[in-house]
Amino acid sequence: MEVTILAIIVVVILLIHFSRNKRKGRYGEKRVATILNSLPDEYTIFNDVYIEENGKSTQIDHVVFSPYGIFVIETKQYKGWIYGDERASFWTKNIYGNKYEFYNPLFQNYGHVKALESLLGFPYQYFIPIVVFIGDVTIKGDYPNHNVVYENELLDTIKYHISVLLPDDKLKWAINRLAYSSFETSDTAKEHIIQVKERISQYNSIINNGICPRCGGKLVLRQGRYRNFWGCNNYPHCHYIVKDY
């Protein structure tokens, strides 16, 4: 009897935790959507987009179309210090000495860009991925090859791009293509969550078997400046690493 009651309590706590995280994520996305709404009319904004390509569903927080490129934005609402590396599978958030890992948002957003690339048939250079952090957060580390920004830097990051990449006819076609291809229902969201869990499971299984998930090479133990780490044996052609913080 006591075991049953304890199990129920654990389940309730987990459900509350999941519900809070879900609400927190939605709040962050709404906050970014409000910021994006202040962009001029030449920018067309899509929020909370679901698309399906090759039987796989992809959820994207924000897509912004403009003559200067297609901005693909991943929103993260966290508190504390964020430690990351462009090539690491997981980043770490540190809240009052408590450390929690989360999947590299650059990798996550790269998957979103590839899905849009496949849907629209545009080359990768048309897309500008951005990861924006919302909340009382401090970003640690350097990200010279990527846009990792705070919410108050988002608009300036977008407006920094002024070279025209998309002519008007191609831009309108892309906007219509996404408008007719994206969808959002409760069933779609549930199916997307199931697919994400399956992909994570497959991804972890590949790593556990000593295989590079990026190129299929072999993961080997390497000696770094401060600690050892597992990296792909196809380096320098593949820069994938599994790194702990």
pLDDT-derived band at 152 (thresholds 50, 70, 90) equals very high
Among 6-10, 58-62, 183-187, the minimum mean pLDDT is found in 6-10
* Residue 126 and residue 29 in contact, taking contact as beta carbons nearer than 8 Å: no
> By residue range, what is the domain housing residue 31?
1-186
**Residue-level pLDDT at 155:** 96
Q: What does each C-alpha distance from 245 to 97, 104, 228, 230 come to in angstroms? A: 13, 13, 11, 13
User: How far is the C-alpha of 88 from the C-alpha of 104, rounded, in Å?
Assistant: 7
What is the per-residue pLDDT for 31?
92
Check residues 217 and 197 and name the one with the higher pLDDT: 217
Q: Give a yes or no: residue 158 inside a domain.
A: yes
Please report, rounded to a whole number, the percentage of residues in the chain having pLDDT higher than 70: 80
Q: Where are the beta strands (DSSP E) in 39-89?
A: 44-53, 56-66, 69-77, 80-83
Q: Extract the tokens encoding 2.
A: 């006591």
**pLDDT at residue 56, as a whole number:** 77
Q: Which of 46, 40, 38, 20 is CA-nearest to residue 152?
A: 38
pLDDT at 134: 93
Let me know if residue 15 belongs to a domain: yes
Q: Do strands 219-223 and 147-150 pair parallel, antiparallel, or not at all (unpaired)?
A: unpaired
In a domain? residue 200:
no
Q: How confident is the model at residue 90 (pLDDT cuts 50, 70, 90)?
A: very high
The H-or-E segment that residue 215 falls in is: none
At residue 63, the pLDDT reads: 95
Alpha helices in 37-185 (DSSP H): 105-120, 154-159, 168-181
Whether residue 56 is contained in a domain is answered as yes
For range 11-27, the mean pLDDT: 48
> Looking at per-residue confidence, does 230 or 62 come out higher?
62
| Number of neighbours of residue 237 by Cβ within 10 angstroms | 8
Q: What is the pLDDT of residue 81?
A: 95
Domain-located, residue 237: no
Give me the pLDDT at residue 1, please: 46
Instruction: Give the count of domains, the chain.
Output: 1
pTM for the full model? 0.68
Structural domain includes residue 96: yes
Residue count (the chain): 245
For the cut 70, the answer to whether the pLDDT of residue 107 exceeds it is yes
233, part of any domain:
no
Can you tell me the distance from the alpha carbon of 184 to that of 13, in angstroms, rounded to the nearest whole number? 28
* Tens of pLDDT, residues 108-141: 999 999 999 999 999 999 999 999 999 999 999 8
Asked whether residue 139 is assigned to any structural domain, the reply reads yes
pLDDT at 57 over 70: yes
What tokens does 20 get? 């809070």
Six-digit token pair at 203? 């991804």
**Residues 243, 88 contacting (CB under 8 angstroms):** yes
* Distance between CA atoms of residues 177 and 111, nearest Å: 19
Per residue in 166-212, pLDDT (tens digit) is 998 999 999 989 888 876 555 555 554 565 556 667 767 888 888 88
Q: How far is CA 225 from CA 79, 122, 243, in A?
A: 29, 40, 13
Query: Which position has the higher pLDDT, 104 or 56?
Result: 104
What pLDDT does residue 150 have? Answer: 95
Whether 115 and 58 have beta carbons less than 8 Å apart is answered as yes
pLDDT of residue 60: 94
Q: What value does the mean pLDDT take over residues 32-60?
A: 88
